[in-house]
Amino acid sequence: MRACRFATVFGAIVALLGAGRTSGAQTKSANSDQMERPEVRSLALSGVRSVDRDELTQSIATTASRCKSFLLTVFCPLTHSDRIWEKRYLDRTELRRDVLRIRVFYWVRGYRQAAVDTSVVSKGDDQVAVTFKITEGSPTLVRAVHVNQADSVLTTAQVERVVSVDSGKPFNLIELDSSVARIRLVLQDKGYADARVDTATAIDTAARTAEATIRVTPRWITHVGTITVTGNKSVSERTIRNSLSFHTGDLFRRVELSTTQRRLYESGLFQRAAITAPRGQDSIRNVEVSVTEAAPRLARVSGGFNTFDFIQVDGRFTHNNFFGGARRLDAVATLGNLFAESLNGSQIGGLIGFQDITEDVVGDASAFLDPTYNASADFTQPWFLSPKNSAGFGVFAYRRMAPSVFVERGEGANVSFTRDIMDRVPVSLTYRFELTGVIAGDVYYCVNYGVCDPQTIAALRERQRLAPVSLIANVNRQNDPLEPRRGYTAEARLDHASAYTGSSFRYNSVYAEGAVYRPIGARSVLAFHSRVGFVRALESTRLATGAGEDLSGDILHPRTRLYAGGARSVRGVGENQLGPRVLTLPASKLAVICPELSGEAVATCDLSRVDSSGNALADRDFTPRPLGGRALIEGSVEYRFPIWRALYGATFVDGALLGQGSLQSATKGAGTIAPGIGIRYRSAVGPIRVDVGLNPALSEDLSVITEIPAANGQGQIVQLTNQWKYNPTGGASGITGVMRRLTLHLSIGEAY
């Protein structure tokens, strides 16, 4: 480390001497430099080939004038008002220093012969264009890297994994220092808190080669000494000590300190949690835990409205130290669809028009006008028998709906046990028992449950039990939760529901999801994402739900099916629109071309028919409904790159295959590969994402179902004998056809 710092300083001195000669020719005197303050209208760096241009630009002080915000970009070419234009002026002293900064930037990255010249060209009254002309020169290459250990503490594989200075590449001092830091961290995780790691370099200036030697001296094993807790007032010291993943006499490991610090923050009890271990005796490290407490109770109430859900209010209450011991209580309640009966289909002041959510309902529509709710209370006991364990219990009740489609009501409870088997690798065992029921027309059951006969639908309308046992494992190694640039995440889940768990819907499912992030240069990222899932209903579901043994095919609850497509899946299609689908057609639309048909005879209507008035069906008359599937394979790759300041671009290719739909006449699997582009704007709440995906599919033959009134006043499902060739472009060609194949997604946060 000392050798590296000395080399860096020495290089800076050399560059400074050279910069003095260049800077002297650019200005008359220091005083006159400070008097001249022209605006920098443009800044260019020419000759940059081997380093990241954005990173180099950020390392210098000279910058060009620019818009104050991305949102004002469209106005900046029209005016240079100070309100929207951030003016930057030329400081000739800093310009001379920037020459030094650029040379040092190259020097520490192995380009020790880099030369820099500047050009300042007038662009009008008090405006200039600045150009840095860079000649990189030949790099000094790494000839060899030696790692010498006083004791063989590190394996060869560990050394190769942490040392990033490779033979044949430019001699990068930043990579050398990073390698030293990673070696020290590995040693500290092995208990060698006082390990010494030194470096020595040998440079052959004539041959432009370098050798680096890293000397590793582990010294002695260190153990935890006394543990002192300070700063706590209402939170007991015992509660804090229960969160510690180390005790007096344990091996002193850096990872245990960071794990404990994270647990203290995650408890919500502390604004600050600092863990320090000042050097003491050679083999003992005393630990000091210093905390600053936060308010243990948090409450929030909010409200709003929209044209579908009418008036909504919600509240949340959190107690982070419920009955002491850092026990956590979360209570959430949401009320929606308020005043729906009076607001449904109404206008307010001619500006706000509320949707008529009962327009397409066959039969009694009053259920869609009642309030909806979602309430839950969850209790979590951290450090259950061990700092690595936590246990939870919760109760919930809900009534939710999709306007004109279904109303679902349910209540139940859940219990869970979680253990951290490794650092940031929790494994949870969860049991959730729920009584659920759905009020909907026959079309909903036909599409979502895969059964269309009235007797089976009547059985499924009864309250059913959904009670799976789930085993879930997660690992998170990404470096940033909002905008990850490196690392990976993974999740695996196993679900089982049967008579032993008390479930009416009985099934087994396996699901896995993962993402990998790799930095490209200083600011670009290459990201990969995949999902794999499989679900299979048990035959006993037919009897348990009352559907009967004679029913062919599987019965799966819609929430257990697999879906693909949307803003976080295949972005070339709409939400859940990839895979097996069926078209629904309102009976009123069908009556236009087949008015003489009634009852079940509607099934024989020729969908391509044109009546005497020229009326015919079009793609816009049909609504595609996803059927879900039982087997899913999905993958995506995305390249994210900087465009300007906080604005980033992305190109991606998504693909998936989803099969085994629930409607027997349309159970064939379906898949697609969809390319697309997008932009991201980095905001305080995360990246604001706009993606546009291209749907390569032109048309698809889909089954059609409709719902007609029956003699008892309820709806009756009719599946038409003819299929419809559904084309999302509406038959348009050329540019119009391409534009209709584009799917736009606007959201906050990366897709993965």
pLDDT range class, residue 447, cuts 50, 70, 90: confident
pLDDT score of 686: 85
pLDDT score of 203: 94
Q: Which tens digits make up the pLDDT trace of 140-165? A: 999 999 999 988 899 999 999 999 89
Q: Is the pLDDT of residue 394 over 80?
A: yes
Lowest mean pLDDT among 105-119, 379-393, 713-727: 713-727
Round to whole Å and give the CA distance between 162 and 141.
20
Q: Which tens digits make up the pLDDT trace of 190-233? A: 999 999 999 999 999 999 999 999 999 998 999 999 999 999 99
DSSP-assigned letter for residue 566: S
The architecture that CATH gives domain 223-293 is Roll (3.10)
- Which phi-psi region, left, alpha or beta, contains residue 546 (left: φ > 0; alpha: ψ -120 to 50)? left
Q: Is the pLDDT of residue 658 over 50?
A: yes
C-alpha distances in Å from residue 399, one per residue of 350, 357, 690 = 31, 16, 32
DSSP-assigned letter for residue 140: P
Q: Is the pLDDT of residue 587 over 90?
A: no
Tell the burial category of 125 from Cβ atoms under 10 Å away from its Cβ (0-12, 13-18, 19+). Answer: exposed
Domains 2-135 and 223-293 share a fold: yes
Q: Which CATH superfamily is domain 2-135 in?
A: membrane protein fhac (3.10.20.310)
- Percent residues over pLDDT 70 in the chain: 88
pLDDT range class, residue 662, cuts 50, 70, 90: very low
Q: Which DSSP string corresponds to 261-290?
A: HHHHHHTT-EEEEEEE--B-STTEEEEEEE
Region 634-646 average pLDDT? 91
Q: Is the pLDDT of residue 31 over 70?
A: no
Q: Is the pLDDT of residue 416 over 90?
A: yes
Region 282-293 average pLDDT? 91
- Which phi-psi region, left, alpha or beta, contains residue 619 (left: φ > 0; alpha: ψ -120 to 50)? alpha
Contact 672, 696 (CB under 8 A): yes
SS3 (DSSP) at 35: helix
SS3 (DSSP) at 704: strand
Q: Is the pLDDT of residue 666 over 70?
A: no
pLDDT score of 33: 43
Q: Is the pLDDT of residue 665 over 70?
A: no
Q: What are the boundaries of each domain within the chain?
A: 2-135, 141-217, 223-293
Q: Is the pLDDT of residue 13 over 50?
A: no
CATH of 141-217, one of 1.10.510.10, 3.10.20.310, 3.30.2230.10, 3.30.1390.20: 3.10.20.310
- pTM equals 0.78
